[in-house]
Amino acid sequence: MVPRDGRTRDSAVNTSGSELILLVCSANICRSPLAELLLRRGLGDSPGVRIESAGVHARTGSAICALAAEQLAAGGRTDGAASHRSRPLTRGLLDEATLILAMARDVRSEIVGMAPQVRDRVYTMREAAYLGEGFTPESSARRVGVVSLYAMHLDGARTAKGPVPARRSGWWRARGADGRDIVDGHIHGPREHRRTVHDVAEASAVILGQLGGRAIRGGVTVRL
């Protein structure tokens, strides 16, 4: 993949045939691996698309949390959950990513602090799902991949639509003061932890619908 350092917003365009969607949270044991595995499962064998995750404060080698594993098993499948091991975010992963989805604004800020050149292709997961409304996967004369097309759509919509509303009906209802974040429920007790897992599953389903994938319901009510 051609390095993107110092390039303009067109750096999201990828014609190499290999595109990476990178999910990022804090510890890489709940929010980001759950989103990774749901997106990977929903997109199936989409050619040229890879889904990976990492954490801005992750230790190496921790297992996925039990509640995230339970969500993944709700549909009768556990593929990927048992083998997941946390890993820290690196500049190399950020440079390689076509689209970076952070779980919350504080995570996004740390990503941009680590690699300012990726600023224009970093969104919170809820922000991407909100801005991605109306996107339809399509072929391109330039043979641009669907993830690059989606990233370009998000970039245009960010200016046209503005920030995610603080309160809206459906999956993007705010947890706290801002609609862009999926909070780290581990630090707020079991009830908020379950809400976090639910929010990740819902946002993943919306993004899958926009990318033309198969929404994995797995016991959660999904609004596409």
pLDDT tens digits, one per residue of 15-72? 455 899 999 999 999 999 999 999 998 988 677 899 999 999 999 999 999 999 988 8
Non-local CB neighbours of 137 within 8 Å, separated by 6+ positions: 146, 149, 150, 211, 212
CB 152 within 8 A of CB 12: yes
pTM: 0.83
Query: Nearest 5 degrees, angle CA 15-CA 19-CA 24?
Result: 145
Flag whether pLDDT at 175 surpasses 60: no
